[in-house]
Amino acid sequence: MRFDLVFKPHTALLLAATTLALAACDTGTPVPASAPEAVAEPAAASETVTATAQTSWKWAGGDLQGWTVNLPDAVISWPATGGLSLAAPAAPAGPDLFIQSPLMSVAGKDYSRIAVDLEAVTPASDLDLAIYYSTTAHGESFDYRGGPLDGTPFAAGERRVLIYDMLNQAAGAPDWMESTVTQLRFDLPQGANSNYIVHSIKLCPTEAADCG
């Protein structure tokens, strides 16, 4: 008995596809898959820094607001009247006691002055009070710093707002005004058992009449 095979068009296409798939398996050639869906790229690090930049910090209630204290044996406390209290070790050794800001992205030309609201509990004889800073071009350096307009010694219990004129910075002018500032560092007066309260630090807009 004879059977005549009759192929319909759709049957032929199915057999052809099956033959190709088997051939791919025999040769190790992968069968092409559909393209994956597009995935959004993560934000660049520089974008994150710009988005989180701040120009003013006021301390109270245990929140360092991203600032760090360099000496692990410095005593940190939070007075009921506000501020960040920093007491130097009884026998300080090594680097000066300072606080360092979180990363930021600020055009120096837009903020030509810095105000530091500082209170002395137990004054120190060594009045450093320097502000160092990093930019997109350099890190902290003695060659680039600001000093207060009034650097006279503090009396016990005295509170004063120190103003730093970065247009005429103590060293490195006009670097601040021509740079993008990425971090600040404030050096406290140095001395064994000295104790100061930093109430606030803010960058004042260049066009502002008052900075205090």
Note down pLDDT in tens along the chain; length 212 residues.
Answer: 443 444 444 444 333 443 434 344 444 444 343 333 333 343 444 444 443 578 999 999 899 999 999 998 899 999 999 999 999 887 766 678 999 999 999 999 999 999 999 999 999 877 889 999 999 999 999 999 999 999 999 999 999 999 999 999 999 999 999 999 999 999 998 888 899 999 999 999 999 888 97
pLDDT given for residue 92 in this prediction? 61
Q: pTM for the whole thing?
A: 0.75
Distance CA 175, CA 186 (A): 18
Q: What are phi and psi of 51, to 5 degrees?
A: -70, -30
Class of domain 55-204: mainly beta
Which one-letter amino acid corresponds to residue 83?
Answer: G
- Displacement of CA 182 from its chain's centroid (Å): 7
Task: Kindly list the domain boundaries of the chain, sorted by start residue.
Answer: 55-204
**Segment 51-83, tens digit of pLDDT:** 357 899 999 989 999 999 999 889 999 999 999
pLDDT given for residue 188 in this prediction? 92
pLDDT given for residue 204 in this prediction? 96
Distance CA 131, CA 99 (A): 10
pLDDT given for residue 94 in this prediction? 62
Distance CA 201, CA 130 (A): 13
pLDDT given for residue 93 in this prediction? 61
pLDDT given for residue 59 in this prediction? 96
